[in-house]
């Protein structure tokens, strides 16, 4: 699945491919590569995302999302390994339940790229040999659960066979009426989304099917994401986006309004704008709450209400997301 044609694992190869002075300068001033040869959360970037950076009007913003920097080494008070309380909410090796009658499946540790702001960058992913059976066994005894959320990692990085097996194991439970998939692959690895298309087209006949994309910047959307979203929408999927407010990436009125409008032009409703989860090593992406509120208030004056995402924070142990 991952090979040198589709992903970069070496920063030097990635920078050679970009052939852009700004990227080399950014890396020289900030990249971690020569500081930490065995990082816990190593660099990974897809060729598709590298191409988006090449074409971007705002390439440094996208670069910041995926290029390791020295800032990640800083220990900052309040930034922890499990910022959203995944571990205390764990019900099995792969099931997390925080909210009433809904459950989240950590289906894989694999992603299309490694986002430097990731809230699960320190998560102790298990190598789970049989996720489908574990999920099925758990749902057998939790018949009040009506929505299952596939998360990870990125669930669409599963092989077509493993993904189908997981979905089939959930579909065996009539109590589950809604299947939600959280993914960055439409902008990171559209090729991997395409390999699931036969099944993705079938799913709306079996579940209320919701795909939540994680897009943070308008330059991450291109003709390939537009095609994918159009096909999903035509098949009956509800398409929502949740982004994260990130310093140096999307913390301006113009960037946020442009993102929301472009999402809508591709059939996706901006749903959540998350305040940064306080994972160790991400503090340099933080936008303070007052600034975040002021930004979203301005965005509200520029866009119709249905295009203004809800500004929220996830607080460990709370029974819902907390509006700001
Ligand atoms: S795709 Fe999601 S889970 Fe994967 S590295 Fe990015 S933020 Fe983390």
Nearest CA to ligand 1 atom 8: 118
Q: Which of 106, 154, 188 to mutate to test the pocket of ligand 1 (most atoms within 8 A of CB)?
A: 154
Domain boundaries, the chain: 7-73, 95-323
pTM for the structure as a whole: 0.95
132 CB within 6 A, ligand 1: no
Percent helix, percent strand, percent coil in the chain, to nearest 5:
40, 15, 45
Instruction: State the CATH architecture for 95-323.
Output: Alpha-Beta Barrel (3.20)
Nearest CA to ligand 1 atom 7: 118
- How far is it, in rounded angstroms, from Cα 38 to Cα 36? 6
Q: How far is CA 297 from the centre of its chain?
A: 24
193 three-class SS: helix
Instruction: For residue 109, report the distance from its CA to the centre of ligand 1, in Å.
Output: 9
- How far is it, in rounded angstroms, from Cα 114 to Cα 188? 10
Q: Where are the alpha helices (DSSP H) in 110-252?
A: 131-140, 160-171, 185-188, 190-194, 197-202, 223-235
Q: Is the dihedral of CA 183, 146, 238, 167 positive or negative?
A: positive
Each residue's pLDDT tens digit in the chain (324 positions)?
A: 556 679 999 988 999 999 877 777 776 766 665 556 567 899 999 999 999 999 999 999 999 999 998 899 889 999 999 999 999 999 988 999 999 999 999 999 999 999 999 999 888 887 777 899 999 999 999 999 999 999 988 999 999 999 999 999 999 999 999 999 999 999 999 999 999 999 999 999 999 999 999 999 999 999 999 999 999 999 999 999 999 999 999 999 999 999 999 999 999 999 999 999 999 999 999 999 999 999 999 999 999 999 999 999 999 999 999 999
Q: What is the DSSP letter of 309?
A: P
- How far is it, in rounded angstroms, from Cα 276 to Cα 257? 19
Instruction: For residue 301, report the distance from its CA to the centre of ligand 1, in Å.
Output: 31
């Amino acid at each position: 699945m991952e090979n040198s044609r589709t992903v970069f694992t070496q920063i030097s190869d990635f920078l050679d491919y970009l052939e852009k002075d700004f990227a080399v300068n950014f890396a020289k001033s900030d990249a971690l590569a020569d500081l930490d040869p065995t990082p816990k959360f190593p660099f990974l970037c897809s060729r598709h995302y590298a191409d988006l950076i090449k074409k971007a009007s705002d390439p440094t913003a996208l670069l910041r999302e995926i290029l390791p920097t020295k800032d990640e080494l800083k220990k900052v008070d309040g930034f922890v390994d499990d910022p959203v309380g995944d571990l205390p909410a764990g019900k099995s090796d792969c099931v997390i339940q925080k909210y009433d009658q809904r459950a989240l499946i950590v289906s894989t540790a694999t992603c299309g790229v490694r986002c430097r702001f990731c809230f699960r960058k320190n998560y102790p992913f298990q190598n789970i040999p049989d996720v489908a059976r574990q999920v099925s066994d758990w749902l057998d005894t939790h018949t009040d659960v009506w929505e299952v959320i596939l998360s990870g990692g990125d669930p669409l990085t599963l092989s077509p066979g493993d993904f189908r097996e997981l979905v089939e194991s959930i579909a065996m439970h009539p109590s589950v009426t809604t299947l939600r998939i959280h993914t960055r692959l439409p902008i990171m690895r559209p090729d991997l989304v395409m390999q699931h298309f036969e099944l993705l087209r079938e799913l709306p006949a079996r579940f209320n099917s919701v795909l939540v994309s994680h897009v943070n910047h308008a330059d991450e959307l291109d003709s390939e994401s537009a095609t994918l979203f159009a096909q999903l929408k035509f098949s009956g999927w509800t398409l929502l986006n949740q982004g994260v407010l990130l310093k140096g990436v999307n913390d301006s009125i113009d960037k946020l309004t442009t993102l929301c409008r472009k999402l809508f032009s591709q059939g996706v409703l901006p749903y959540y704008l998350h305040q940064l989860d306080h994972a160790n090593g991400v503090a340099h992406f933080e936008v303070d709450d007052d600034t975040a509120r002021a930004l979203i208030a301005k965005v509200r004056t520029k866009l119709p209400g249905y295009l203004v995402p809800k500004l929220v924070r996830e607080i460990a142990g709370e029974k819902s997301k907390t509006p700001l």
